[in-house]
């Protein structure tokens, strides 16, 4: 039987980057072939960092467009905006009451923000509970993500278990994560995880010239030309690896025999990125001409997603001790 797949991307920047594509969205596209795919735009989550209404709206629409450009097919994937299904907020409350604060205090994102001395909103602190509600509302079996989200899925399981135990009823299904280990942590221009918040990204839809400048900025050491290079520690090589193929073996050979310098390796990387992303970038340009279609897809997806979330919420309300579901 097909598995229920659930995942999302947070619209907190103007476009997705290579980390989102290789770590997550490519998996979504592959899974729609055989599984029951539910993919959404996590705009409630983006509100933890984006506080400009116009920007939030445009970032969210942009992710929708990009999902479609990446190959998600509305016939095979339910696609919607998180904020169009308010049931997740009510479920967040029910789960909050089964979630120890100590669990949330262990969340990496919260710990990093407080270590930096940033002001932590309740939204950021409760981020994992909203994420659990997203996953549990849709009775997901499997959540495809990059490595940085695994802790959230483990916390989701903890919350679901506790809620079920408190209610004495198995209303919530425990999900598993799915990480593609080869691309679990795509590095950025500086070798740290590629991330919007580190400003080290290569955007999927950036103009060729901007991508070229960024590729030339990838951080390398000062090994002189003619000296062997270590492919395992080189940030440029790590990005080449994403695209695989015979060219990669050739490049590895050139590295270990000192036949290539970092500049040349960067020059070879750019066309590989452009070629690898060409179909997605072309579809993106076509879809941009028909934004009404994108809105239609989201409206239809929200209606379908909402039915599932409503049924889960009704069951949870009853299990937790509330009266029959409110009339609507």
Query: Which residues in 131-190 contact ligand TYM (CB under 6 A)?
Result: 131, 134-135, 143, 145-146, 148-149, 183-186
Q: Does 99 bind ligand TYM (CB under 6 A)?
A: no
Answer whether 22's CB lies under 8 Å from 53's CB.
no
Going along the chain, which residue ranges are E strands? 4-9, 36-41, 77-81, 142-144, 176-178
Interface pick for ligand TYM out of 26, 178, 193, 214 (rule CB under 6 A): 193
Q: Does 26 bind ligand TYM (CB under 6 A)?
A: no
Interface pick for ligand TYM out of 4, 5, 8, 91 (rule CB under 6 A): 8
Residue 84's contacts (CB-CB under 8 Å, 6 or more residues apart) are 298, 299, 302, 305, 306
Interface pick for ligand TYM out of 5, 7, 41, 313 (rule CB under 6 A): 7
Spell out, one character per residue from 28 to 47, where the chain touches ligand TYM: x when CB under 6 A holds, - when not: --------------x--x--
Closer residue to ligand TYM (CB): 186 or 218: 186
Cα separation, 199 vs 191, whole angstroms: 12
Q: How far is CA 50 from CA 43, 46, 58, 124, in A?
A: 9, 6, 11, 12
Closest separation in Å from C-beta 173 to ligand TYM: 14
Closest separation in Å from C-beta 135 to ligand TYM: 5
Sign of the dihedral defined by the CA atoms of residues 27, 33, 36, 41, in that order: positive
Q: Does 19 bind ligand TYM (CB under 6 A)?
A: yes
Closest separation in Å from C-beta 195 to ligand TYM: 6
Cα separation, 298 vs 43, whole angstroms: 13
Closer residue to ligand TYM (CB): 108 or 217: 108
Q: How far is CA 185 from CA 105, 192, 211, 242, in A?
A: 23, 9, 20, 11
Stretch that binds ligand TYM, among 20-28, 264-272, 285-293, 304-312 (CB under 6 A): 20-28
Cα separation, 229 vs 46, whole angstroms: 40
Closest separation in Å from C-beta 21 to ligand TYM: 8
Residue 62's contacts (CB-CB under 8 Å, 6 or more residues apart) are 11, 14, 15
Contacts with ligand TYM by CB under 6 A: the residue count is 26
Stretch that binds ligand TYM, among 17-25, 100-108, 117-125, 268-276 (CB under 6 A): 17-25
Distance of CA 240 to the CA centre of its chain: 21
Cα separation, 121 vs 124, whole angstroms: 5
Which positions lie near ligand TYM, rule CB under 6 A?
Answer: 6-10, 19-20, 23-24, 42, 45, 131, 134-135, 143, 145-146, 148-149, 183-186, 193-195
């Amino acid at each position: 039987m097909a598995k229920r797949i659930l995942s999302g991307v947070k619209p907190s920047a103007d476009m997705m980057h290579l980390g989102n594509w290789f770590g997550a969205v490519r998996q979504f596209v592959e899974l729609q072939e055989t599984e029951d795919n539910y993919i959404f735009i996590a705009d409630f989550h983006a509100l933890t960092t984006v506080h400009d209404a116009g920007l939030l709206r445009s970032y969210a629409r942009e992710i929708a467009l990009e999902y479609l450009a990446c190959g998600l097919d509305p016939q095979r994937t339910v696609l919607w905006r998180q904020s169009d299904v308010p049931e997740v907020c009510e479920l967040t409350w029910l789960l909050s009451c089964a979630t120890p604060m100590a669990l949330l205090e262990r969340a990496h994102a919260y710990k990093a923000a407080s270590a930096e001395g940033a002001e932590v909103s309740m939204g950021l602190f409760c981020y994992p509970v909203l994420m659990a509600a997203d996953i549990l509302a849709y009775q997901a079996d499997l959540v495809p993500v990059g490595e940085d989200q695994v802790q959230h899925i483990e916390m989701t399981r903890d919350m679901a278990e506790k809620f079920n135990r408190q209610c004495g009823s198995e209303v919530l299904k425990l999900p598993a994560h799915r990480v593609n280990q080869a691309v679990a942590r795509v590095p950025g221009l500086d070798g740290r995880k590629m991330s919007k918040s580190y400003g080290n990204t290569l955007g999927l839809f950036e103009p060729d010239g901007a991508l070229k400048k960024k590729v030339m900025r990838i951080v390398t050491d000062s090994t002189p030309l003619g000296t062997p290079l270590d492919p395992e520690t080189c940030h440029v090589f790590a990005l080449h690896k994403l695209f695989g193929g015979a060219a990669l073996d050739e490049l590895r050979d050139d590295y270990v025999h000192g036949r290539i310098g970092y500049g040349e390796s960067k020059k070879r990387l750019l066309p590989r990125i452009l070629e690898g992303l060409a179909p997605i970038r072309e579809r993106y340009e076509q879809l941009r001409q028909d934004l009404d279609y994108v809105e239609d897809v989201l409206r239809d997806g929200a209606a379908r997603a909402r039915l599932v979330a409503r049924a889960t919420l009704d069951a949870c309300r009853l299990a937790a001790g509330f009266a029959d579901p409110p009339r609507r």
